[in-house]
Amino acid sequence: MHEVLLKRPPIKTSLVVAVLAGVGLWMFLRSDKAAALADADPAMVSAVAALLPQIKSPTNTVKVKFLTQSDGAEAARKLEAEAVSPIVVRKSGKAYTAKNALGVKSESTSLYIGPISLLSHNRVPVPLFSDLLPGEFWRTSVLRKIDAQPSLDFPWKLGAKFSAHATYDEYFSSGEKDTASELSIDCVALEQVEANQAHPSLHGKAMKVRCDQKSNNSYSKAKTTERLEYWYLEELQLSFPYLYERDFPGDDFFPPQHESSMRKVVEISVQR
């Protein structure tokens, strides 16, 4: 009978395997970036809250998965919304290719009161490096100024409107300040429907709200126009878009661009 001797792998090989296992575990267990209320301007939080007194934060954490149809292509989006104060909601989302939940195409985490972003972090991930460096490659926008008249009935009264002009400070991932951007937004409550039109599991009423936006920065005089149509869910005190359209007329650096997508809710869960 012959004895079979099992050779131990070389020490260098063992170290490489251990390092790779540690990196894989770190990538799997690491926390995603989350927009923090402490990073928003307190004066702007108070100002926007006064403009939109009917807006409240969701009382539960809500997770939503969408399938997005855009120019014949299909993609998936995941959104998680949770209150960070009685009036401010954090919305964190990722976009994927439809059949690959590991291939993140873009991600964001933002603070909102109604349709107004107080603070947002956005990035297009760099494969592998973004997983290893979750705090890197982000661009940040912080609301610095807003001009608007209060809307006492928006968004829950049919026909209610809200318009505003906002200025945002923009920052690179390094923290270095970029040029400011401007946003004009006009919203109207279009139609009240049953919430189960958004997804069969939902209850109560929902308001369909349309917002038209124009934005630009000092790099280009050309303005980007966007149209978003939202579900505003009364029971959950939460909104998310089901239609998105974007047009850019082109400038000296970039050609004209058009984007249009419909977002269908395929899963929604509420953590009470």
Q: Model confidence over 7-58: pLDDT tens digits?
A: 555 665 655 554 444 444 434 444 579 999 999 999 999 999 999 999 999 9
What pLDDT is recorded for position 254? 81
Give the residue from 68, 61, 93, 62 showing the smallest Cα distance to 79: 93
Stretch 128-155: mean pLDDT:
84
Domains of the chain listed by start with CATH number: 32-271 (2.40.360)
In whole angstroms, what is the distance from residue 67 CA to residue 60 CA?
23
Q: Which two tokens stand for residue 123?
A: 């990035």
In whole angstroms, what is the distance from residue 71 CA to residue 63 CA?
26
pTM of the model: 0.84
In the chain, the percentage of residues whose pLDDT exceeds 90 is 65
Residue appearing with tokens 């494969």:
127
Kindly give, in sequence order, each residue whose CB lies less than 8 Å from that of residue 220, ignoring residues fewer than 6 positions away: 251, 252, 253, 254
Phi-psi region of 139 (alpha: psi -120 to 50; beta: other; left: phi over 0): beta
pLDDT for residue 227 is more than 60: yes
What pLDDT is recorded for position 132? 58
What pLDDT is recorded for position 23? 41
| Residue 153, CA distances (Å) to 137, 157, 193 in order | 39, 6, 17
pLDDT for residue 213 is more than 80: yes
Q: Who has greater pLDDT, 88 or 251? A: 88
What pLDDT is recorded for position 30? 46
pLDDT for residue 88 is more than 60: yes
Mean pLDDT of the chain: 86
pLDDT for residue 199 is more than 80: yes
In whole angstroms, what is the distance from residue 110 CA to residue 8 CA?
50
What pLDDT is recorded for position 168? 97
In whole angstroms, what is the distance from residue 44 CA to residue 97 CA?
36
pLDDT for residue 263 is more than 70: yes
